Structure 1
């Protein structure tokens, strides 16, 4: 019997592979899948795409991610086809098409502006004053680990042209989408439109408070949605 397809995942902007391992690791382990959590670099989008190409060269992989990671995963799957991709776990996709008007892109640019103008410590202080405790702690950790390259990563993410529903209509592999209520940065309508457009898809819903307390919930929901979409 062949082993399950490996799962290759990418974090959201300002996040890192540490978070991806906590979000997707338990679900991957429960299914006997090898997990590869990619870390961001300055060449954010093209760097991820090259590493996905390398990971899928020896056979189909499951690909997924959070926020901008979900967008890149879906973009790659559209061109990879079923010979290299077994499906997509798109968690909290941030926007479709051009980034203009997206809260996530605006937030990325605003954070980059703050880092360039005020430095890391002051930007973290500003962020923590208006964030839930769990998010403040998570971003303090990841921003500190990623800085100073974080600025270039934020700028690159904020220019990404995301997959559109029209494009997703040609997706040849199952798509699992996880959306969150009351998340101003990742509007649930984006993921719902992606799922409605895909030939084979499923949506799982959660809340900002729920996945904030338990990152592994995102992976469990994505796994359940993919199992439904794959039939």
Structure 2
């Protein structure tokens, strides 16, 4: 049986245009197996996406330090909060970081802007039908549910995520906390090179590789990779 970790609560945030249901599917089981409770809050609406999540983390960490993390933009926000609150962060669980510093021409940033433009031009349902055409069935299912749940706030939330800087490499170097990073070797939107740069910068980071192919058949594969990496970092 896996031994429990003293810090027993992790707040996990979703990626751009995603939702807390997907984050819970990815992380809840692997976290529970490590003795960690996964807390997966619903995304704030529209242009409140980033400030709402950061304010929530401030509130949840008022009494005890938190493990924080997330997927893609959620990983960025978790690391941003940790940079601001290193004494209140017990560790990071990061999946699929997409850039560091300014987004510039990062594929995930460009994709979010294109999606926002499409939603504003065509409306949610037409944009959704165009966006899921030709993608893997599991991803089409996830996008359909999450985009509809974001509703009228979707485009604004996509733009917030697309334009917000992630922590810089220098800021990441200052985070002396256990960090588990998971990335997919076959994901062009979240390049493996970016995950490696984050792992090289963070003093105690451990990186584990997986694939989108594995994620399609087993959502927990991504969460297991991040949690296992964090456990190794925590023990070192």
Same fold (TM over 0.5): yes
Relative to structure 1, the CA distance from residue 182 to residue 3 in structure 2 (aligned partners, 3 Å threshold; closer, same or farther) is closer
- Counterpart in 1 of 2:12? 9
Aligned to 2:34: 31
Q: Which residue of 2 aligns with 1:223?
A: 227
Give the alignment's Cα RMSD to 1 decimal: 1.4
Query: More deviation in 8-17 or 172-181?
Result: 172-181
* Structure 1 residues 1-231: aligned runs within 5 Å: 4-41=7-44, 42=46, 43-82=48-87, 84-231=88-235
Q: Please say if residues 9 and 38 of structure 2, whose CA atoms lie closer than 8 Å, have aligned partners that are also in contact.
A: yes
Post-superposition Cα deviations, 1:58-99, rounded to whole Å, max 9, x if no partner, equal 1111101000000010111112113x1110011000111111
Q: Distance in 2 between matches of 1:196 and 1:228?
A: 16
Deviations 1:88-120 (A, max 9, x none): 011000111111101101111111111110011
Structure 1: runs of 5+ lacking an equivalent:
none
Equivalent pair of 1:78/1:172 in contact (CA under 8 Å) = no
SS at match of 2:163: coil
Q: Report the CA distance shift for 1:200/1:3 in structure 2 as closer, same or farther (over 3 A).
A: closer
Distance 1:32 1:90 in 2: 18
How many residue pairs match? The answer is 230
Query: Which runs of structure 1 show a deviation greater than 3 angstroms over 4 or more consecutive aligned residues?
Result: 1-4
TM-score (norm 2): 0.93
Kept in 1, the 8 Å contact 2:207–2:229? The answer is yes
Question: How far off its partner does 1:2 sit?
Answer: 9.0
Unaligned runs of 5+ in 2: none
Question: What is the SS of the residue equivalent to 2:206?
Answer: strand
Cα offset for 1:3? 5.3
In structure 1, distance between residues paired with 2:91 and 2:132: 36
Checking the alignment, whether the CA contact within 8 Å between 1:164 and 1:194 is kept in structure 2 is no
Query: Structure 1-normalised TM-score?
Result: 0.95
The answer to whether the 8 A contact 2:5-2:34 is kept is no
Residues 13 and 68 of structure 1 are in contact (CA less than 8 Å); yes or no, is this contact kept in structure 2?
Answer: yes
Distance 1:3 1:203 in 2: 22
